[in-house]
Amino acid sequence: MDKEIKITQVRSTIGRGPRHRRTVKALGLKRLGYTVVQKDSLAIRGMINSVGYLLKIEE
């Protein structure tokens, strides 16, 4: 079974650039406090690294 990552949005995208807003949306997050579970992959890790200051990550 693949590893999974639990991602929670803890900061708002208001005032952020359009690329960061699109990245948060691509991760499946819709609003503040929303949590999704994604498979652990290099693509997901790259997205998390670019907007990590908006997120809380649990392995």
Residue 23 CB coordination number (10 Å): 20
pLDDT along the chain (59 residues), means of 10: 90 96 97 96 96 96
CATH code: domain of residue 49: 3.30.1390.20
Domain extent, residue 24, equals 4-58
Helices (H), the chain: 18-26, 42-51
Predicted confidence at residue 2, as pLDDT, reads 79
Q: Looking at the 3D structure of the chain, how many domains does it have? A: 1
Amino acid 3 reads K
Predicted confidence at residue 6, as pLDDT, reads 98
Predicted confidence at residue 35, as pLDDT, reads 98
Q: Encoding tokens for residue 32?
A: 């503040």
d(CA 10, CA 42): 22
| The overall pTM is greater than 0.85 | yes
